[in-house]
Every structure is written in structure tokens, then in C-alpha cells.
Amino acid sequence: MSIALSIGNNLTTSGVFKSSAVNNTSVNNVTTFPLISGGTLKLLSTQTASASASINFTTGIDSTYDEYIFKFINIHPSSNSTDFDFQVSTNGGGSYGVAITSTWFQSAHNESDTTAAISYETAEDLAQSTSFQTLNQDINADNDASNSGYLHLFNPSSTTYVKHFMAVNQCMQSTPFSIEAFAGGYINSTSAINAVRFKMSSGNIDDGIIKLYGVVN
């Protein structure tokens, strides 16, 4: 009886919960979280690196969603001072190397607090290049070092428009610095993008997790 009264006291006359009935004490029963953009994230696949030459997503990227998000969790390289890169495929992963035009800048701050800067990095941007696009550079291979971040890929199945992307990644650089890298650009193809490859510029991805999400409108 007391439970029924408690519920009733938290309802309006139209049967809607009052704002006072909602609190932040628990999210145990929440299954999805809304994004600011109005969509929700649907986890499509997870891959864990283990001395991997590359991590390839060859399924799950199709016309189901207008936006896909890759999340990188503690990407640890086997070689010191290496870059974390990506490229895309229009033939299901048969080949990677679609023309990209991009822009790239970073913020940096070292552990000794002697250097802090924001800089445009022309060596990391691409101009109609089929090379791999750098997501972060000069990553430290110490046991406690890694890279984490995300990549947004927009409407990869469009056969009308080029495919836009933008990414933010944070790593412990080899100096050591804290480096936050910002990459953005477009994949200059009107063919559908249906596979994505991630790799280091040298050596393997020693450890780390990459998750692929679809953004549900």
C-alpha cells in the first residue's frame, strides 16, 4: 500500500512522472543513452588487438546508419614513436587506399611543464592522397603509454556525396608529452565505403580495444 501511495504522489493528474520523481542515484536499468544530436549509440562490434598488424572492420558498415563512430581504448604500439593511422575500402576490404583530403592540428604539453603549444601539422594532413591518415603521432611504447579517442564517419554508404570524417585522439607521446590530435577531412569518393583499417605506421598494435557504433537517429 505504501509503495502504491509513493508512486501516486510522484505522478501528475495526467499520469506523467513529476520532475521530483527522477534522480541521479542509479542508472542500473538504463539500456541506451541519448546523444546531444538526438541519436543513440548501437554497439555493432568490438575488436581487441594482440600483436596485430592491423584491425579491420569489414562488416557492419552499410546503409543502416547515417553515422558511425569508432572508439579507441588504450591503443598500445609495439614500436616507440609510431603513428596510429586509418584508411578505408570500397570493396569490402579487398584493398585500402581511397583519396583523402584532410586537415590536422594538435595541442601539446610536456610532463616537465616547460612546453605547451597548439600547432598545425602539415606533415600529417593529406591532399588527394591514398596514404593512410594519421589519427595521432609519435605514440610512446612504454608499458604505461597508449592512445585513446574516437573517429566519426558520416554517411559512408552515400553514392552522391564525398564521405566526411573527424577524429580526436589523446596519447602519451614519446618525449613524454600529452598530445591531443584533431583530424578532419573528406574521403573523395562517391562510392560506398564498406570497410575501415586501423594500423600503426610501424610495428604492430600490441594491445587495445576498438569499438564500432552505429548512431541511431
Instruction: Evaluate whether residue 9 is within a structural domain.
Output: no
* In a domain? residue 16: no
CA distances from 32 to 28, 70, 95 (A): 11, 17, 35
* 148 located within any domain: yes
Count: domains in the chain: 1
pLDDT digit of tens for each residue in the chain (217 aa)? 444 445 456 556 555 555 555 454 444 455 454 544 457 999 999 999 999 999 999 999 999 999 999 999 999 999 999 999 999 999 999 999 999 999 999 999 999 999 999 999 999 999 999 999 999 999 999 999 999 999 999 999 999 999 999 999 999 998 899 999 999 999 999 999 999 999 999 999 999 999 999 999 8
Say which CATH number the domain at 153 has. Answer: 2.60.120
- Any domain includes 82: yes
Domain enclosing residue 131, as ranges: 29-216
Q: Is residue 15 part of a domain?
A: no
- The verdict on residue 163 lying in a domain is yes
Give whole-number Cα distances, 16 to 3, 11, 20, 29, 53, in Å. Answer: 17, 5, 11, 19, 54
Q: Which pTM was predicted?
A: 0.82
Residue 20 inside a domain? The answer is no
CB hemisphere CA count around 27 (13 angstroms): 4
In a domain, 23, yes or no: no
